[in-house]
């Protein structure tokens, strides 16, 4: 959106805030400095982010939710906009725009929710950042069993899987999937996710994603892990694309300080897509990425809800040898 439209919409939202139920938000800004082969060799301040989340009850059994983010100075993005029916904790129904419940990281990556400043490799490559869809979603909790299921427009074909975000369907097939999990004890959850749908304009080829995630949290530490596999169906004459990625993250809670460490691994092979691909012109150069990353850092909280994070990423690429390490610093506020 243009600046004037952006600020006008924000003014309306803030003016109407007292009537909009529960409101929370977040603000963050970053600094990046890379090695000589990286994108931020000279060092730069950037990536400012401002988000607002609204939720509330319309009447007994009916609820709504909305989330707006201001990014890239001039753009407002809508992350969520739904109305829902809630009969009990065992069954809730939402219709509208929702964050896709694939894995765990896609729904908890706001600055105050994750230790990492930079998205893990599986998020960076396997699906769109802040992956959203328009359709219907059901979810619930029955004892230790949790589930989500959804039907929406699905992903579209692009140069990479990251380019698949769309808000109008490009074919007749719908994207469908879900996540089922088990809370084996307080603070421990293990879950499996799947997403499947035709992704090309001709409605002939499927994209299938599988995921496994685990989250174990205590008062002293958190261990989080996620595995993602994508199977990209390609036209006859090309082998199918195959993507495998995982990350493991450990955070230690030490009062005001929260040191963390993460290891991430990605292998992405796709002979049909990549730079130069077009739905009109055809194949691209192909994709061949074999990358790993160690991310080490610490978050300092001088007061509750203020987060100052330092992160250093050791990036390694098997096929291309270059100096790709990155220093990131973030200041974030949650309110």
CA distance 275 to 91: 43
The span from the CA of 223 to the CA of 215, in Å, is 6
Smallest CA-to-CA distance from 36 within 274, 322, 333 is with: 322
pLDDT classification of 36: cutoffs 50, 70, 90:
confident
Digit-coded pLDDT (tens) for 160-215: 999 999 999 999 999 999 999 999 888 999 999 999 999 999 999 999 999 999 99
Candidate from 9-13, 218-222, 226-230 with smallest mean pLDDT: 9-13
Question: 3-state secondary structure string, 282-312?
Answer: ECCCCEEEEEEEEEEEEEECCCCCEEEEEEE
Which of 32, 34, 38 has its CA nearest to residue 320? Answer: 38
- Retrieve residue 298's tokens: 């610490």
Segments making up each domain of the chain, as ranges: 3-334
**Residue-wise DSSP of 36-78:** TTSTTTT-EEEEEEEEEEEEEEEETTEEEEEEEEEETTTEEEE
Query: In b/e form, how buried is each residue of 256-269, taking b as 16+ CB within 10 angstroms?
Result: eebebebbbbbbbb
**What pTM does this model have?**
0.91
The per-residue pLDDT for range 272-291, each reduced to its tens digit, is 999 999 999 899 999 999 99
Cβ 115 vs Cβ 260: under 8 Å: yes
CATH entry, 3-334, from 3.20.20.80, 1.10.275.10, 2.40.160.10, 1.10.10.60: 2.40.160.10
User: Are 148 and 135 spatial neighbours (Cβ–Cβ below 8 Å)?
Assistant: no
Query: Which is it for strands 306-317 and 132-142: parallel, antiparallel or unpaired?
Result: unpaired
pLDDT above 90 covers a percentage of the chain that reads 83
Average pLDDT over every residue of 47-66: 91
């Amino acid at each position: 959106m243009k600046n004037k439209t952006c600020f006008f919409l924000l003014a309306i939202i803030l003016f109407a805030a007292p009537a909009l139920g529960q409101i929370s938000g977040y603000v963050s800004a970053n600094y990046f400095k890379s090695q000589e082969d990286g994108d931020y060799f000279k060092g730069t301040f950037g990536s400012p982010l401002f988000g607002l989340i609204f939720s509330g009850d319309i009447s007994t059994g009916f609820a709504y939710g909305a989330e707006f983010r201001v990014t890239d100075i001039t753009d407002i993005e809508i992350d969520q906009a739904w109305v829902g029916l809630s009969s009990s904790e065992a069954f809730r129904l939402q219709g509208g725009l929702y964050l896709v419940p694939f894995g765990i990281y896609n729904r908890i990556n706001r600055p105050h929710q994750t230790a990492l400043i930079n998205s893990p490799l599986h998020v960076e490559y396997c699906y769109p950042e802040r992956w959203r869809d328009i359709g219907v979603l059901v979810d619930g909790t029955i004892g230790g069993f949790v589930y989500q299921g959804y039907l929406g427009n699905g992903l579209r074909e692009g140069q990479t899987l990251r380019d698949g975000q769309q808000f109008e369907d490009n074919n007749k097939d719908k994207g469908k999937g879900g996540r089922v999990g088990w809370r084996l004890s307080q603070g421990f959850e293990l879950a499996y996710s799947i997403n499947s749908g035709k992704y090309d304009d001709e409605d002939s080829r499927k994209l299938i994603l599988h995921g496994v995630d685990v989250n174990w949290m205590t008062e002293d530490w958190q261990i989080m892990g996620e595995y993602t596999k994508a199977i990209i169906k390609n036209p006859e004459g090309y082998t199918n694309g195959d993507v495998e990625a995982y990350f493991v993250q450990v955070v230690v809670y030490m009062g005001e300080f929260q040191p963390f460490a993460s290891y991430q691994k990605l292998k992405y092979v796709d002979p049909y897509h990549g730079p130069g691909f077009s739905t009109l012109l055809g194949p691209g150069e192909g994709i061949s990425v074999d990358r790993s990353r160690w991310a080490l850092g610490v978050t300092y909280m001088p007061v509750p809800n203020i987060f100052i994070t330092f992160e250093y990423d050791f990036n390694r690429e098997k096929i291309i040898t270059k100096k790709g390490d990155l220093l990131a610093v973030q200041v974030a506020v949650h309110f």
